[in-house]
Every structure is written in C-alpha cells, then in structure tokens.
Copies of this chain bind each other. A is one copy, B any other.
C-alpha cells in the first residue's frame, strides 16, 4: 500500500516516529510507549514502525536522544551568550524554569520521569538517561566553579552542594506543577533560585 518514499521522506518518517514516540513516552513513560500504539497514532503498521529501529530498546534510545535534543534546544541554546560564571549560571537556571513552565512536553519534564522510571534498572537506556542528566549537571558545575573563581560566589562555596540544591529546586518545580498543578510553583522556584544564586 505504501511504497518506498524518497530518502528525504524516509528521514521524515523516522522523525515523525521519534517525535510522536517522545510525546507518548513523556506521558506514558518509556515502557508505556508501545509499538502498536505508535503505529496506530501514525497510521502505519507495527512492522513499518519497528523497521526503522529493529528493536524496541533501540527505539527507546532514539526517543531519549530526541528528548536530549529538545532539552538542548529549549534550555542551553536559549541561554544568551554573555559572560560566563554567575550570570551564565543564573541564565541557565532561568531557562530551566521557563522550560518547565512552558510545558514543552505534555507529560512534564521527560528526563525527570524517565530517570525515576529507570533509576533502579540496568541497561543502555538507563545509562543514556543518566548520561544526559550528568552532562547538564556538569555544565552547571562548570559555571558554578567559574563563579567562585570570579569571586561572584563565596570562595568556600561547595559547588557540588550548590548543584544538588539547584536540582532539588527543579525536581520540586516539576513535582508541584505536575502532581499538584500548583501555578505558584514557578514563582517558588525563582525565589529559591534567587536565594541560592541571588
């Protein structure tokens, strides 16, 4: 019924699958993302969907990668390219809050959901998630260290501790937004941030 598409269209089909897969996974979880559901949503056969990846795990990895690209596009790439150090750290956190506030994905922050879903398992999917999380936290740490080096933060600042607190602010933001639908949460997050990196 559906013959071969040109190379450009083929890539486009793959992108359609991954995009829709990310939307589903952000709501139902990476395990709740099923081939059949994906095929139905896209008006394709299950074989047609799986043909692009071969395996559900590969598809999950593609979705995680897509989520990482979305996050990169929506957060770090929106950080203006001003001076490094405290200003950049602040801008990164503000972009982070705005990203959660904007409800970019229908199911809240994909990485928060995926991390808690896979945090007690093994395998490449868990590793990919943990890796993305680690990269972002490393970037935070770098700017925090620069801020200390610039004298913008106290010299005895525990950078690891600061990143821990920043992550907590974001996890709480996601929690209060998604579970309690608390519209005051972003303001709370910003207040916590200004207390941490004023």
Residue of B nearest to A188 (CB): B164
Q: Which residues of B contact A130 (CB under 8 A)?
A: 179-180
Are B164 and A176 in contact, CB atoms less than 8 angstroms apart? yes
Binary interface profile of A, 90-127, with partner B (CB < 8 Å = 1, else 0)? 00000000000000001110001101110110000000
Q: Is A27's CB within 8 Å of the partner chain B?
A: yes
Q: Is A192's CB within 8 Å of the partner chain B?
A: yes
| Interface residue ranges of A12-64 to B (CB < 8 Å) | 27, 29, 31-32
- Min distance, Cβ A20 to any Cβ of chain B, angstroms: 16
Q: Is A169's CB within 8 Å of the partner chain B?
A: yes
Q: Is A80's CB within 8 Å of the partner chain B?
A: no
Q: Is A184's CB within 8 Å of the partner chain B?
A: yes
Residue of B nearest to A105 (CB): B120
Checking B116, B164, B180 against A113 with a beta-carbon cut-off of 8 angstroms, the contacting residue is: B116
Residue in A115, A175, A176 whose Cβ sees the most chain B Cβ within 10 Å: A175
- Min distance, Cβ A135 to any Cβ of chain B, angstroms: 13
- Min distance, Cβ A164 to any Cβ of chain B, angstroms: 4
Are B106 and A27 in contact, CB atoms less than 8 angstroms apart? no
Q: Which residues of B contact A171 (CB under 8 A)?
A: 168, 171-172, 175
Q: Which residues of B contact A140 (CB under 8 A)?
A: none
